[in-house]
């Protein structure tokens, strides 16, 4: 069936369920927000398998220090070159803004962290006339999947651009194995200085 067979009136008469099928049937220009190269492997693979035109977006002011942010970016740029992925790299790194927004509410910091990155992705997707946006955050078993999904859906309404939800966690093992085979740099902590402390700081044992 070719695209020409679907006219606008038919589209308008589709039930939400059929609209979803239609959405899945046609290739889309998708903006994939990427937190790091290892997490991009599986989402990129499945999105491309369906014929979507995928662009990557690197915007992660939550990754500290800057040398770590750059290391993850360098790894992504190398991988993107190898697999022919076009990436948009933000020239902004508002680390100070990130810290100002989470200080004194460190326990709830991930909400702001997801929000800042997804809202930037929605903004770029809207500006760049993408059909939708999504994020490699949906790949991680260590992130709050429901919170990311809810934020994505609410930002989709706010920016009037579709949020492509998918449970990329299904490919968790596959992504890890591939990144290891490729000898890709794999970071040891989530990103922010708080997560770095949680990963490495061990309280001194008394006695
Ligand atoms: S732990 Fe990870 S998701 Fe949470 S605020 Fe830090 S970098 Fe962001």
pTM of the model: 0.87
Above pLDDT 90, what percent of the chain?
Answer: 84
Measured in angstroms, how far is the CA atom of residue 115 from the centroid of ligand 1?
11
Measured in angstroms, how far is the CA atom of residue 112 from the centroid of ligand 1?
9
Task: Quote the CA–CA distance of 137 and 148 in Å, as a whole number.
Answer: 7
Ligand 1 atom nearest to CA at 109: 5
Pick from 87, 70, 81, 90: nearest CA to 185:
70
Which residue puts its alpha carbon closest to atom 1 of ligand 1?
Answer: 195
The single-letter DSSP state of residue 129 is T
Tell me phi and psi for residue 162, to 5 degrees.
-65, 145
Is 118 touching ligand 1 by the criterion CB < 6 Å?
no
Is 113 touching ligand 1 by the criterion CB < 6 Å?
yes
Please state the domain extents for the chain.
25-200
Q: What is the pLDDT of residues 61-75, one digit of tens each?
A: 999 999 999 999 999
List Cα–Cα distances, 139 to 22, 35, 92, 98, 167, in angstroms. Answer: 24, 10, 24, 23, 7
Q: What is the pLDDT of residue 27?
A: 86
- Of how many residues is the chain composed? 207
pLDDT tens digit at each of 207 positions of the chain: 333 223 333 333 344 444 444 445 578 999 999 999 999 999 999 999 999 999 999 999 999 999 999 999 999 999 999 999 999 999 999 999 999 999 999 999 999 999 999 999 999 999 999 999 999 999 999 999 999 999 999 999 999 999 999 999 999 999 999 999 999 999 999 999 999 999 999 765 554
Ligand 1 atom nearest to CA at 191: 7
Which residue puts its alpha carbon closest to atom 2 of ligand 1?
Answer: 190
Q: What is the pLDDT of residues 79-119, one digit of tens each?
A: 999 999 999 999 999 999 999 999 999 999 999 999 999 99
Collect contacts of 66-74 with beta carbons under 8 A, ≥24 apart. 66/93, 66/95, 68/187, 68/191, 69/93, 71/185, 71/187, 72/35, 72/36, 72/37, 72/185, 72/187
The CATH architecture one would assign to domain 25-200 is: 3-Layer(aba) Sandwich (3.40)
Choose the residue to mutate in 101, 116, 187, 190 for probing ligand 1, maximizing ligand atoms within 8 Å of C-beta. 190
């Amino acid at each position: 069936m070719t695209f020409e067979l679907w006219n606008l009136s038919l589209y308008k008469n589709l039930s939400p369920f059929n609209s979803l099928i239609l959405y899945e049937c046609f290739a889309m220009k998708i903006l994939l927000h990427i937190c790091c190269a290892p997490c991009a492997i599986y989402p990129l693979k499945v999105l491309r398998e369906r014929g979507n035109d995928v662009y990557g977006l690197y915007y992660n002011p939550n990754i500290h220090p800057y040398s770590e942010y750059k290391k993850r970016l360098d790894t992504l740029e190398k991988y993107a070159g190898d697999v022919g992925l076009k990436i948009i790299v933000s020239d902004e790194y508002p680390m100070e803004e990130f810290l100002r927004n989470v200080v004194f509410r460190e326990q709830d910091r991930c909400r702001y962290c997801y929000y800042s990155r997804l809202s930037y992705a929605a903004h770029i997707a809207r500006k760049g006339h993408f059909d939708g946006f999504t994020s490699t955050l949906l790949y991680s078993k260590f992130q709050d999947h429901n919170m990311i999904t809810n934020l994505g859906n609410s930002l989709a309404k706010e920016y009037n651009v579709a949020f492509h939800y998918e449970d990329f966690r299904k490919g968790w093992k596959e992504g890890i194995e591939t990144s290891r085979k490729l000898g890709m740099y794999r970071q040891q902590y989530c990103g922010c200085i708080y997560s770095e402390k949680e990963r490495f700081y061990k309280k001194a044992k008394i006695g």
